[in-house]
Amino acid sequence: MPGMLHHYFGGHRVAGSSGRCGDVTNPATGEVIHQVPFASTSEVDEAIAAASSAQPGWEAVTPQNRARVMFRFKTLVEDHMDELAELVSREHGKTLADAKGSVTRGLEVVEYACGIAQLLKGEYSGSVGTGVDSWSMRAPLGVVAGITPFNFPAMVPMWMFPMAIACGNTFVLKPSEKVPSCALRLVELLEEAGAPEGVLNVVNGDREAVEALLASPTVQAVSFVGSTPIAEHVYRTGTACGKRVQALGGAKNHMVVMPDADLEQATDALMGAAFGSAGERCMAVSVAVAVGDRVGDALIERLKPRVESLKIGPYTDSEADMGPLVTRAHHDRVSGYIDCGVEEGADLVLDGRGFSLQGYEGGNFIGGSIFDHVTSGMRIYKEEIFGPVLCVVRSEGYEDALRLVNDHEFGNGTAIFTRDGDAARDFVQRSRIGMVGVNVPIPVPVAYHSFGGWKRSLFGDHHMHGPEGVRFYTRLKTVTERWPSGLRKGAEFVMPVLH
């Protein structure tokens, strides 16, 4: 009988009381490993109340002392790296090496948050008038919330809460109901690092919990990462309720391969970027744009044997290149897209449907697939598949390739592979995409830059972590101060001008 997980708020594990719950499965076997409670509105309100009562005390802790908690948290996450990676892999299915890489990328944000005292430094102008000084400072918002997707159970929450908390806010996290365990462990580690109870809270749940967070007047801001339709809904609802919202959505990342590119390097890049983590990454390359048929033929010739020999296995297999898809429903969805591509007339060079792994027949495994001669009108080109399916589009020239990148509704990431500096520079300048790589297939910004897409890959004005993270989780206050020491001008009824 699988055990029931819990929520965590106000410094304690809290048993779910709504009577609603969901199954959490091991994607490699299909086995239900535990159940996760789905919070009711009143349970979410309790978690928000815990965050709210902790907030004034936490804001009063000096930035340097908040940073010290982050330093200890960083060390604890490092000490528990194997355990956290196992929690990620067991529920998500990705390989342990990949899971560790993702925890490490999350940890980089914690390292950035350790510099919060420096990051919160305001601006000061002395003598803006006689005896008058002015400065600006950044104040925390209060209680903020994060809603996260299944594909990065540690990293995406760590894009959010370390920055929010270091800025002096308290946080309510609603992780994906498919992968809840890692978040529940992270909150325990943060408290072990010295965060007072109620500073970070985790409520598990589904749509009802999300709606409760969006409706709460106490929650000042919401960070969301997930699919585009839900991101748009969260943005519209949250902003209509007067909140600040950053909502990151789906993607269809194009990698343009120019005729002068190093094709071996480009093939290596495509293998990792399209098939790593079974394609379940918002920065995965799902479209290769071959500039010219010569490049298209050469890429297909190189990719086909490499994809055929991909090593697919459970996360416990240290040799595996990729694992299964997260759920059976997602497996069937990805498989349905392959059916669709065939019906639409794309050339299915490699078919991952029907892949089965001996001993793991109940798992959600699917093989790598390649479609060639994909065109921009096809659904497999327009929609996010979120699986190990690479679409190769052939473009006549560079301008044609750039137009494809720019005309797509998503604008998360893109890359160009070339030896031509002119082309690379032009691509960087003219692509309407949030994150651009030059000979780098997955250009995820480091923690001290900010992460985010354009177009329908992000709703809101702020990207995540880095300087934009500080701006998102704080509001600006500007002070003008006079110590007149005998200077008295009487009442002024016109717009005051400082002299």
Positions that interact with ligand NAD (CB under 6 A)? 147-152, 156, 174, 176-177, 206-207, 210, 225-227, 230, 248-251, 282, 384, 386, 412, 453, 457
- Is-catalytic flag, 282? yes
CB of 203 to ligand NAD, least distance (A): 11
d(CA 371, CA 387): 13
d(CA 370, CA 274): 10
Nearer to ligand NAD, 87 or 225 (CB): 225
Sheet holding 413-417, edge to edge: 347-350, 369-372, 389-395, 285-291, 253-257, 413-417, 435-438
Q: Contact 274/285 with Cβ under 8 angstroms?
A: yes
Determine which one of 21, 282, 340, 391 is catalytic.
282
If phi > 0 it is left, if psi is from -120 to 50 it is alpha, else beta; for residue 238 that is alpha
Segment holding 333, helix H or strand E: helix 328-344
d(CA 290, CA 401): 8
Nearer to ligand NAD, 207 or 294 (CB): 207
Nearer to ligand NAD, 153 or 198 (CB): 153
Q: What is the longest distance spanned by two Cα atoms in the chain?
A: 88
Nearer to ligand NAD, 6 or 333 (CB): 333
CB of 324 to ligand NAD, least distance (A): 15
Nearer to ligand NAD, 40 or 176 (CB): 176
d(CA 201, CA 174): 9
Q: Contact 244/167 with Cβ under 8 angstroms?
A: no
Q: How far apart are the first and last CA of the chain?
A: 77
Q: Which residues are catalytic?
A: 282
